[in-house]
């Protein structure tokens, strides 16, 4: 039994639409990876410093400074909200303040004694600072007090990356609309024949939308693979510096495929809506 070939023949190879959508998917996936990785980095940074407190004994007289540091250590060890504490040795203090003092030696300067303190979640930092201040000139500050500008910078970069993802999604919809209108113009005579045979506008739109959805799916796969390859290369280079900053977390590996699927649906939906509008205006 012979079958009649379809009036609108599907392409055997991906067209230019697929390449354009692949580029848009690459941009959106890279931007999404940046949003997720920066969010993970910000949360990791906040968690790392949330329980850390830096205690400083500010006393110019060395014997008295050492005595106050010992008393502060004893006071902190007796508190139930202190998880761990460690007094920094002079070499560690020199590495911390060295960049600010240049070649000046600590022997000639009244450098403070410093205690690295880890507190339990929900610890009352004000009560700890008050208890230490009663001993002498001792301060206690959260380790992340100076990281607010860095956290703000990460938030700004996330906002920029999110904007890029939105622009890429909008570009995908526009590409799909242009491709749908071009296909409609190229198949104008065929569409008229289909209408003459009783096909509805929605049925005609479904045929063309299917081709664009296949192009979008191919582009999403290509763009997603390239974006993951770029992320793997970046993670390898950053890991060589001893920094694990490119991490998506468990939710990220669920969000990324969902974004690519959403991009395909966006392209198909935009094309379908554009075709229905064109068909509705056609005589």
The DSSP line for 197-226 is: TT--HHHHHHHHHHHHHHHHHHHHHHHHHH
Region 73-94: mean pLDDT is 86
Q: What are 209's two structure tokens?
A: 């939308």
Rounded distance between C-alpha atoms, residue 161 and residue 153, angstroms = 12
Q: How many residues does the chain have?
A: 283
Give the CB-side neighbour count of residue 75, counting CA atoms within 13 A. Answer: 19
pLDDT at 2: 37
Region 57-74: mean pLDDT is 89
Q: Label residue 71 by pLDDT band (50, 70, 90).
A: very high
Region 239-264: mean pLDDT is 71
**What's the pTM value of the predicted model, to 2 decimals?**
0.64
pLDDT at 195: 64
Region 238-263: mean pLDDT is 70
Secondary structure of residue 73 in the 3-state scheme: helix
pLDDT at 223: 78
| 197 close to 6: Cβ distance less than 8 angstroms | no
Region 7-31: mean pLDDT is 67
pLDDT at 14: 47
Q: What share of the chain is helix, strand, coil (3-state, %, to 5)?
A: 70, 10, 20
Residue 5 has what DSSP assignment? P
Residue 13 has what DSSP assignment? S
Residue 1 has what DSSP assignment? -
Q: Could you report the per-residue pLDDT of 93-141, keeping only the tens digit for each?
A: 777 776 666 555 555 667 788 888 888 887 888 888 898 989 989 888 8
Provide, rounded to the nearest whole percent, the portion of the chain with pLDDT above 90.
Answer: 3
Q: Label residue 12 by pLDDT band (50, 70, 90).
A: very low
| 280 close to 201: Cβ distance less than 8 angstroms | yes
| All structural domains of the chain with their residue ranges | 16-46+149-281, 59-136
Nearest to 141 by CA among 117, 112, 111, 113: 117
CATH number for the domain formed by residue range(s) 59-136: 3.30.70
Nearest to 210 by CA among 10, 4, 17, 3: 10
Secondary structure of residue 122 in the 3-state scheme: coil
Q: Could you report the per-residue pLDDT of 201-216, keeping only the tens digit for each?
A: 788 778 788 888 888 8
Region 75-92: mean pLDDT is 86
Q: What are 118's two structure tokens?
A: 């880890």
Q: What are 70's two structure tokens?
A: 């010992």
């Amino acid at each position: 039994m012979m079958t009649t070939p379809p009036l609108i023949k599907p392409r055997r190879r991906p067209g230019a639409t697929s390449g354009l959508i692949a580029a848009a998917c690459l941009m959106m996936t890279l931007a999404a990876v940046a949003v997720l990785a920066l969010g993970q980095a910000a949360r990791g940074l906040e968690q790392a410093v949330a329980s850390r407190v830096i205690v400083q004994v500010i006393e110019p007289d060395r014997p008295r400074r050492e005595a106050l540091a010992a008393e502060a250590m004893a006071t902190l060890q007796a508190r139930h909200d202190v998880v761990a504490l460690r007094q920094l040795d002079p070499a560690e203090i020199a590495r911390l303040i060295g960049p600010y003092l240049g070649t000046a030696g600590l022997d000639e300067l009244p450098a403070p004694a410093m205690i690295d303190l880890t507190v339990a979640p929900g610890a009352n930092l004000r009560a700890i600072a008050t208890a230490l201040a009663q001993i002498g000139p001792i301060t206690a500050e959260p380790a992340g007090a100076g990281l607010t500008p860095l956290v703000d910078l990460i938030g700004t970069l996330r906002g920029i990356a999110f904007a890029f993802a939105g622009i890429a999604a909008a570009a995908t919809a526009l590409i799909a609309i242009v491709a749908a209108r071009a296909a409609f113009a190229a198949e104008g005579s065929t569409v008229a024949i289909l209408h003459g045979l009783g096909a509805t506008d929605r049925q005609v739109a479904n045929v063309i939308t299917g081709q664009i959805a296949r192009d979008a799916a191919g582009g999403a796969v290509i763009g997603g693979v390239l974006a993951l390859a770029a992320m793997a290369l970046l993670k390898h280079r950053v890991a060589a510096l001893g920094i694990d900053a490119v991490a998506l977390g468990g939710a990220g590996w669920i969000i990324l495929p969902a974004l690519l699927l959403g991009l395909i649906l966006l392209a198909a939906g935009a094309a379908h809506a554009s075709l229905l509008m064109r068909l509705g205006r056609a005589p």
